[in-house]
Amino acid sequence: MKTLDVDFVLEWLSRACLHELSTFGALSEECLCFLLTNGRLLQLHRGDLLYRAGDAADGFYVVLQGELGFYKQSEGLDVLTRHFGRGEQVGFDGMIGLHPRSGTAVARGDVVVLEISSMLFFDLHMQYPADFGLMMINLSREMSREIALLENVIGQSVGWKPQ
């Protein structure tokens, strides 16, 4: 895992491209620059661990490029339960819930993520309250989609079929 320079990332992934990501939807240019400048931009390669189950959840990550696999332990085996792709966040639930990481996040190829620490998230709230509200809506919407997906998986496992 390697830390990337914000200028390099902005050259590589245009601002317009970043504004299209669901987590950043409708955020101001100033707010997006604040997050990119004060967050940590990380590059991972296939097989690199972003975090392990049980690690402290002191922030969350937004996938800017590539895909992460999310694994849960079951009977001593790591089981792939979800993919997180471009624009999606991973780890927000643990940070907000104040519980350790519930699984292990692994790069499925070349991946770039923005780490948003809990302190940066608080600073966002203080310095950009309107953008913070928009970001909370974006994050809540994504969590709602994840819950619906999980409900469908659980329902299908007991024979229920979505209408």
For the chain, domains (ranges, CATH) are 2-157 (2.60.120.10)
Confidence band, pLDDT 50/70/90 cuts, at residue 146: confident
As given in the structure block, the two tokens for residue 71 are 């694994």
Could you give the CA distance from residue 88 to residue 79 in angstroms, rounded to a whole number? 20
Element (H, E) at 124: helix 118-127
Question: How sure is the predictor about 162, in pLDDT bands with cuts at 50, 70 and 90?
Answer: low
Indicate the pLDDT class of residue 122, thresholds 50, 70 and 90: very high
